[in-house]
Amino acid sequence: AQTVTQSQPEMSVQEAETVTLSCTYDTSESNYYLFWYKQPPSRQMILVIRQEAYKQQNATENRFSVNFQKAAKSFSLKISDSQLGDTAMYFCAFNSNYQLIWGAGTKLIIKP
Amino acid sequence: GAGVSQSPSNKVTEKGKDVELRCDPISGHTALYWYRQSLGQGLEFLIYFQGNSAPDKSGLPSDRFSAERTGGSVSTLTIQRTQQEDSAVYLCASSPKTGLTLVETQYFGPGTRLLVL
């Protein structure tokens, strides 16, 4: 079975600090995609970053970057220079076809 | 351009009643997904529509749940004889079918929060 595990239910950091959210997954597939989505209190699920498993280079989107370790099946999200607007639930998700398999989420709180 | 929209935003109903939840995908997106998010949980896949193909209903939790997608656009998720355990946020997503990648990014609506009393 394909699973996604986020081991940090909640994290809290000061504004401007760097924070890393962990995600591990389990699959027998060789080609797949990994995603980080952000869900603020508005409930809108927003794509933060995506990584294609066949690409060795880690994806980067402005202050957001990933550390993708395919052999270890690890896909962590690093947020640099954190901002108050980054406060949200963060979900790691995996898919190899059209179904997204989701982790339980990490609640990230950015303190002023 | 307009994103995915869902209505109603919130719905309170009594146990045993039927409810209909609506999703308007992004114009031109051929794929549409329904997910359920229980409190403090990740998303649970319910159903997937792709163009005119038969939908993948493998995630529907019981025969009380059904969904339609008319004209390849708007979708309605219907829950019959609602139970308290149906209380959750129901999220809809859509994605294009560009054929450029194996997996397309899914774009989500704001969800419908359903409370069954």
* Residue B116 located in a structural domain: no
> Does the pLDDT of residue B56 top 60, yes or no?
yes
The two counts, helices (H) then strands (E), for chain A are 0, 12
At B53, the pLDDT band (50, 70, 90 cuts) reads confident
CB contact under 8 A, A104 and B40: yes
pLDDT score at B101: 59
pLDDT score at A23: 97
* Residue B61 located in a structural domain: yes
CB contact under 8 A, A52 and B101: yes
A–B CB contacts, 8 A cutoff, strictly below: 63
pLDDT score at A13: 97
CB contact under 8 A, A104 and B42: yes
In total, how many domains does chain B have? Answer: 1
How many Å lie between the alpha carbon of B74 and the closest alpha carbon of chain A? 19
Domain that holds residue B82: 5-109
What architecture (CATH level 2) is domain A3-111?
Answer: Sandwich (2.60)
* Nearest Cβ partner for B89 among A31, A43, A98: A43
> Does the pLDDT of residue B1 top 70, yes or no?
no
Please give the share of chain B, as a percent, with pLDDT higher than 70.
Answer: 94
Average pLDDT, chain B: 90
At B40, the pLDDT band (50, 70, 90 cuts) reads confident
Cα Rg for chain A, rounded, in angstroms?
Answer: 13
CB contact under 8 A, B48 and A99: yes
pLDDT score at B50: 87
Give the residue on A whose Cα is nearest the Cα of B50. A98
Which residues from chain B sit within 8 angstroms of residue A102, using beta carbons? 42-44
* Residue B117 located in a structural domain: no
A3-59 pLDDT, tens digit each: 899 999 999 999 999 999 999 999 888 888 999 999 998 888 999 999 988 888 899
B85-105 pLDDT, tens digit each: 999 999 999 998 765 556 678
CATH code of B18's domain: 2.60.40.10
At B2, the pLDDT band (50, 70, 90 cuts) reads confident
* Residue B66 located in a structural domain: yes
Please report, for chain A, the start and end positions of each structural domain, with discontinuous segments joined by +. 3-111
